[in-house]
Amino acid sequence: MRRVVMLVDNAVEGDSRVQKAARSAADAGWDVTLIGCAHVDAERRWRLGDAEVRVLPLAAAPARPPATAPAGVSGPGGVVSAVPRVEGSGVSAASASGRAGSRDGSGLRGVSGLRARLVARGGLPLRAARLARRPVEHAEVRYWRARLRDGAWRRLEPCLWDYERVAGPVVDELRPDLIHAHDFRMLGVAARAVDRAREQGREVKLVWDAHEWLPGARPRRDNARWLPAHLGYVREYVGHADAVVTVSDTLADLLVRDHALPERPTVILNAPVAAASEPTASGSADLPASDLRERCGLSPGTPLLVYSGAMAVQRGVDTVVEALPLLPGVHLALVVADPDAAYVRQVVARAARHQVGDRVHVLPYVPHRRLVAFLATADIGLIPLHHWPNHEIALITKFFEYAHARLPIVVSDVRTMADTVRATGQGEVFRARDAADLARAVRAVLADPARYRAAYEGPDSPLPGWTWEAQAARLDALYRRLLTPTR
């Protein structure tokens, strides 16, 4: 049995795409180990069907100097060193850092100190301090990109080495035949593992699963370094991939353009599992079997909207709350990872200010294999995204989950999903961030729900192609092609 190692930069349990990929690959006969990296207290292990899951603790890793690779870890070009070399320069990143300090003084060394001094001396609010430090951060980016080109991530985002230090030795120990790197942070970890294996005479294939278009992503840190650092990181290692998979045709075209890929990525949609199955993660067996409407305590005749997924300003839930006063008697269910999260509490407080707090219900996630049935008693599935590059190009997971729950979808006018809804007739489109137009779209669906649900029936239904089973077959075929010996 050929061994597949999957890598992801999270705790696995909240990532349905990763869970589905691991389980379906194991079901197809591959020996699968899924390795997550997260800030957990100790290593966690469980099984997804026949796949083994191991979540490794980032927090337990020992402290290290910035920009220093873990001991014994292969740096660029396969060089095993405690300090990564700077390609083409003949010097280490650490020595380059020293020269940067001597050339640029305290500016490049003391961004965090600058922030502290601004707040302490002037009593500036945090936002002002952030704005004041930006020129220094942009100077850092320009300097290190000039010195290290794509390798500048070693100085701008050295915490990327944490994933290498934690996961790299485990991957080497497992001796995989194929490594499937999910999202961008694990690409370098996989590429360096492939290099080490090949130095030992073992052939290992690498599949990179691009979950999003990185140039259009919202930075995950509030600084000017994060995005250019990660863009360089991906550019450095994307050439190691033997194949690329991604989530939409539009993103596949962008990846070909951005990285001059020799082969168009295989599109693996974030579609739900069609077959009913048992819970997938440890500790999830005791989750309630009731449906969404029952959990909200609502009668069958009460109009119920649902938003299921991550909560953030750019996801547009505030627009829904602002629309509720225009929709008398309509209730909203929010199915979210952490009902007590700060932003969720802000949304609930906003609803109270609009005097619709009694019509907003916050519920925790359910396992992805139960989610479709859980959602099915709602009347409308909401996707109120703001315009953001990555929102324009994908059919996101909740789109397919709503569809399989046979819910009419009300979506903002983000390009790909709006075009799909208009083409299939499965819902209505409204102007992003326009509460009045959202209310109009909701009223249209509630006036004739059968018209929109009809899009899911009959020979022209898109649902058979929008299943994980169909996507898993593509992924299995890709694995087999890569691992089939050729003359």
Give pLDDT tens digits along the chain (487 positions): 899 999 999 999 989 999 999 999 999 999 999 999 999 999 999 999 999 999 999 975 444 444 445 544 444 433 333 334 333 333 333 333 333 443 344 444 444 555 555 445 555 565 665 666 778 889 999 999 999 999 999 999 999 999 999 999 999 999 999 999 999 999 999 999 999 999 999 999 999 999 999 998 888 887 889 999 999 999 999 999 999 999 999 999 999 999 999 999 999 999 999 865 444 343 444 444 479 999 999 999 999 999 999 999 999 999 999 999 999 999 999 999 999 999 999 999 999 999 999 999 999 999 888 999 999 999 999 999 999 988 999 899 999 999 999 999 999 999 999 999 999 999 999 999 999 999 999 999 999 999 999 999 999 999 999 999 999 999 999 999 999 987 5
Query: Which residue shows structure tokens 């597949």?
Result: 4
Amino acid sitting at position 14: G
Distance CA 439, CA 161 (A): 47
Q: Decide whether 1-83+149-271+467-487 matches 292-461 in CATH topology.
A: yes
- What are the DSSP E strand ranges found in 242-288? 243-246, 266-267
Per-residue CA distances from 420 to 214, 273, 410, 423, 429 (Å)? 23, 21, 12, 5, 10
Provide the whole-model pTM: 0.80
Secondary structure of residue 309 in the 3-state scheme: coil
Do residues 399 and 384 lie in contact, with contact meaning Cβ atoms separated by under 8 Å?
no
The architecture that CATH gives domain 1-83+149-271+467-487 is 3-Layer(aba) Sandwich (3.40)
The architecture that CATH gives domain 292-461 is 3-Layer(aba) Sandwich (3.40)
Domain ranges of the chain: 1-83+149-271+467-487, 84-148, 292-461
Secondary structure of residue 406 in the 3-state scheme: coil
CA 279 centroid distance within chain:
22
